[in-house]
Structure 1
Amino acid sequence: MSDDYREERTYTIELRLSASFPDDYEGEEDGYEWHARFDRVVRPRIARAVIEALMRDPGWKVTPTTRGESESERLELRVERVVTRE
């Protein structure tokens, strides 16, 4: 039996993506390039910024964990703080 005591909380950052087009746009003409660019350029920057921000404070351990979901649609991180007695 473990002597560990664990407290947990959840913090959610949710992004709702959209793109607006001119009135004469026929739909899907760009092959969802706006989203492909987000996936290729912006999403990795966001993930990196969140992880770096968490790790700037000593004592945090950050582990990406998708639990079988698509990494392109979800970023889930397990963030652990280990509190030790001195």
Structure 2
Amino acid sequence: MYQEEKTFLMRFTLEASFPDDYEGDVDNLVWLQEWEARIKPELMKLIFESLRRHPSWKSRIRNRGASPADEVEIVLARDYGEPQPFNILT
């Protein structure tokens, strides 16, 4: 089977600023914990909810060995060898 591929990267850089007298790690990285526990899972849920609206594309997470704290790869695949689902909106 012939396969083509294109990579699209969406990068999030997290930054937290502190006053000059901050001693470092005093907050136990609460700002990062908020990202991991609340914001990132919510984003992932919204992304997959949106992708499910396009039934001809299959989405899944792929792990290439990087920590999920550092990278989440989402694979979107479309198989032109299979019949496509009927969608009245297209």
TM bracket (short chain): 0.7 to 0.9
1:5 Cα offset (Å):
2.5
Q: Does 1:36 align with 2:33?
A: yes
Q: Mind listing any 5+ residue stretches in structure 1 that lack a counterpart?
A: none
1:46 Cα offset (Å):
1.4
1:6 Cα offset (Å):
1.6
RMSD: 1.7
Equivalent residue, structure 2, for 1:49: 46
1:27 Cα offset (Å):
1.5
CA displacement, residues 31-71 of structure 1 (integer Å, 9 cap, x when unaligned) = 11100111010111111222222221121111111112211
Q: Percent identity?
A: 34
Q: 1-side partners of 2:75 and 2:43: how far apart?
A: 16
Question: Conserved in 2, the CA contact under 8 Å of 1:61 and 1:79?
Answer: yes
Q: Does 1:8 align with 2:1?
A: no
In the comparison of the two structures, how many residue pairs are matched? 83
Q: Does 1:60 align with 2:57?
A: yes
1:85 Cα offset (Å):
6.0
Q: 1-side partners of 2:18 and 2:24: how far apart?
A: 9
